[in-house]
Structure 1
Amino acid sequence: MKVQVKTLTAADAGEIELSEAVFGKEPRLDILHRVVTWQLEKRRGTARKARERSEVARTGKKLGNQKGGGRARHGNRAAPQFIGGGKAHGPRVRDFNPSLNKKIRRLGLATALSVKAQEGKLIVVEDLNLGEAKTKAFIASMEKLGITSGLFIDGAAVDAGFAMASANVPHVDVLPAIGANVYDILNHDTLVLTRAAVSALEARVNG
């Protein structure tokens, strides 16, 4: 699959051959759902456990006589109504660290890239060198490329000037190739890859 390469000023910069094994997959909603669910589950933090009645260090001695004291009947100090007692129905440790094998994760990434390519929402640029690290220059480039919501993926490292210029622009994210993921790709209207990003993603998917 051949795609036209552009510069950040929307000028032509030749062509690039995209691998069919990475950018030509059939859409698989089941795979995308599995990978996105796995990603969002991995983001969740583990709740801090509260000690319950059986876990607090309190005396087990009965507070007073069962009857005749003019007070309520209590068994011991670990009851939830006492200061220092156990928490009733408190938070418990839950596991939010599911597993998903690498084959499915790679297939999910390739499927997400293929969806963007088939929808015509994939743009390949020569590099992310703006010339000057100014937000005004970045917004001008987005307008020339026709981007309102975009994920920009560079090679091994993101161009520092580009990252600085795009930092305060809404609906825009910038990632190195190693950080490319299904959720962020699907969460933006347009996917912008550099030549270096294309090579890195093809190598990553093909293992």
Structure 2
Amino acid sequence: MQVTVQSFAGGAGTEIELADEVFGLEPRADILHRVVTWQLEKRRATARGTRERSDVARTGKKLGRQKGGGVARHGDRRAPVFVGGGKAHGARVRDFNPSLNKKVRQLGLKMALSSHAKAGSLIILDGFEVAKTKELQGHFAGLNAGKRTLVIDGQAGEGFRAGRNLPGVNLLPAVGANVYDIIKADTLVLTRAAVEQLEARFNG
């Protein structure tokens, strides 16, 4: 797949060859849904488990006789009504870490990249070395980027520092590329270094 490389400096861009096995796949909604669900489940944090009646280490001896004592009938001191007793209906430790095969995760990332290439919302930049936020904002206006733009570079450089305050712009290094952020963006901007690292990631 041939794509024109754009530059912040303007002028005629060169052509770059994108690997069809990474950027030329037909996206499947079921694969993308599985990967996004897995990714969001991985972000969830479980509550710290509380000690319930069966977890509290207190005597199990009956407090007194069943009748005639003039008090409520209790079995032991582990009851939730007593200070130091077990928690009634306490928080449980839950597993929010479902498993997903590595092949499916890689396929989902390839399809997310291919979806932008197919929709024409993929922009390839020669580089992303910009020091001023205002200057970077003008460059994005010239690229005709969408409302939500994701920029993926080879590594976090000076451009990341300049672009972190831009509304609607998210910046990631190539090692942090993920399906959820890619498909959520209206426009995907990749640098040459990001393309090389992503293709090497799948071929390695």
TM-score, scaled relative to structure 1 = 0.92
Amino acid across the alignment from 2:151: F
Shift of 1:47: 2.1
Consecutive aligned runs of 4 or more in structure 1 exceeding 6 Å deviation = none
Task: Verify: 1:76 aligned to 2:76, yes or no.
Answer: yes
TM-score, scaled relative to structure 2 = 0.94
1:29 paired residue number: 29
Amino acid across the alignment from 2:139: S
Shift of 1:187: 1.1
Deviations 1:45-72 (A, max 9, x none): 1321111101101121222332223221
- In 2, Cα distance between equivalents of 1:55 and 1:164: 50
Identity within the alignment, %: 62
Aligned 8 A contact 1:10 1:144 in 2: no
1:177 paired residue number: 174
2:184 paired residue number: 187
Aligned 8 A contact 1:51 1:90 in 2: yes
2:85 paired residue number: 85
Aligned positions of 1:94-173 closer than 5 A: 94-130=94-130, 133-147=131-145, 148-155=147-154, 157-159=155-157, 161-173=158-170
Amino acid across the alignment from 1:97: N
1:5 paired residue number: 5
Query: CA RMSD of the aligned region, Å?
Result: 1.4
- In 1, Cα distance between equivalents of 2:12 and 2:175: 27
How many residue pairs get aligned? The number is: 203
Name the CA shift for 1:142/1:74 in 2 (closer, same or farther; >3 Å).
same
Provide structure 1 residue ranges, at least 5 long, that are not aligned to the other structure: none
1:18 paired residue number: 18
Shift of 1:170: 2.5
- In 2, Cα distance between equivalents of 1:46 and 1:152: 31
- In 1, Cα distance between equivalents of 2:85 and 2:166: 50
Deviations 1:20-57 (A, max 9, x none): 11110011111111111111111111321111101101
Shift of 1:9: 4.5
Name the CA shift for 1:96/1:11 in 2 (closer, same or farther; >3 Å).
farther
Amino acid across the alignment from 2:51: R
- In 2, Cα distance between equivalents of 1:139 and 1:65: 79
Amino acid across the alignment from 2:192: R
2:194 paired residue number: 197
Deviations 1:126-164 (A, max 9, x none): 01011xx22211211111111231111111x122x2111
Aligned 8 A contact 1:46 1:94 in 2: yes
Amino acid across the alignment from 2:190: L
